[in-house]
Amino acid sequence: MSKFTQFSINIRGRLMTITRPWVMGILNVTPDSFYAGSRSFDDDAIARRAKQLLDEGADIIDIGGYSSRPGADDISPDEEFSRLKRGIIAVRKISQNAIISIDTFRADVARRAILDEGADIINDISGGTLDPGMHQAVADMHVPYVLMHMRGTPSTMQQHCRYEHGVTADVIAEMGQKIDHLRQLGLCDIIIDPGFGFAKTIEQNYELMSNLEEFLLLDLPLLVGISRKSMIYRLTGSTPADSLNGTTVLNTAALLHGAGILRVHDVAQAVEAVKIVGAITGEYRY
């Protein structure tokens, strides 16, 4: 049964207490993300997508400008920032108070998005591995940081799926070392993400899901991002486009195992899952 516990994060001086699981809506300002339905590349499409996410109840908008799909084109930091800026502007036109997360592994891009454009959170798929300056950057800016587990790069990560003590134990240990480093740098607001699909086999992904409660031992907010990923459609023999039902099943399982944030393409369905799980467990009201 659900192990959800309230947590607080500091968003630009506002200490926000999270009394129920949050939903993070994905806004990809890219032409090549793995799920075509999440791509928004011209300004009108970006604005429509941002409005849809907020109207459906997203608590956070996670803007990505660099596709982490294996085989995706590499782009320069300036191009990535330009895409992110377009997304930030679109969201701010709809809501000045919306909480904006920036999906980037580059420290310089993170600094520009936070300091120049007013974004609120940094979501780093590499957990600081791809840019050694990222941890210092987020510590300097005192912004909430999503620390995700990954090995290698998006192109090589599936070559790094060997876990000596089991995937759950090793992922927790590797994340624990990074958490300690971030704490030493003075960062307070850390959100952890086990990194489903990143340097994990399908079987390891489901093992992580079954053991998700063990991550609560780190005493940090737990983000789960499994939306339309290959762990669903390869198991069911479908496609990303046909994986909404599987996504909802896994989101429900994640909530029942203590997830505090769901990162999703389909906000309305995730909000429904949060409401229903809350009604079942009685731990929170939406």
* Residue 270 φ/ψ region, left for φ over 0, alpha for ψ in the -120 to 50 degree band, beta for the rest: alpha
Torsion angle of alpha carbons 2, 20, 254, 173, nearest 10°? Answer: -90
Q: What residue ranges do the domains of the chain occupy?
A: 21-280
Lowest mean pLDDT among 6-20, 30-44, 81-95, 113-127: 30-44
* 12 is a catalytic site residue: no
Q: List the catalytic residue out of 112, 229, 275, 285.
A: 229
Cβ atoms of 197 and 230 closer than 8 Å:
yes
Q: Report the C-alpha gap between 97 and 94 in whole angstroms.
A: 9
Q: How confident is the model at residue 152 (pLDDT cuts 50, 70, 90)?
A: confident
- Closest-CA residue to 10 (of 91, 99, 123, 108): 99
Q: Which residues contact 273 (CB under 8 A, 6 or more apart)?
A: 248, 251, 252, 255, 262
Lowest mean pLDDT among 23-37, 43-57, 189-203, 204-218: 23-37
Which tokens hold the place of 227? Answer: 């939306």
Query: For 212-262, what is each residue's pLDDT tens digit?
Result: 999 999 999 999 999 999 999 999 999 999 999 999 999 999 999 999 999
Query: For 53-106, what is each residue's pLDDT tens digit?
Result: 999 999 999 999 998 766 567 889 999 999 999 999 999 999 999 999 999 999
Q: List the catalytic residue out of 162, 263, 275, 285.
A: 263
* 183 is a catalytic site residue: no
Q: Which residues contact 65 (CB under 8 A, 6 or more apart)?
A: 29, 30, 75, 79, 80, 81, 82, 83, 84, 87, 103, 104
Q: Report the C-alpha gap between 249 and 87 in whole angstroms.
A: 29
Superfamily of the domain at 21-280: Dihydropteroate synthase-like (3.20.20.20)
Q: Tell me, what's the pLDDT at 2?
A: 65
Cβ atoms of 173 and 164 closer than 8 Å:
no
Q: Tell me, what's the pLDDT at 285?
A: 87
- Closest-CA residue to 167 (of 211, 126, 231): 211
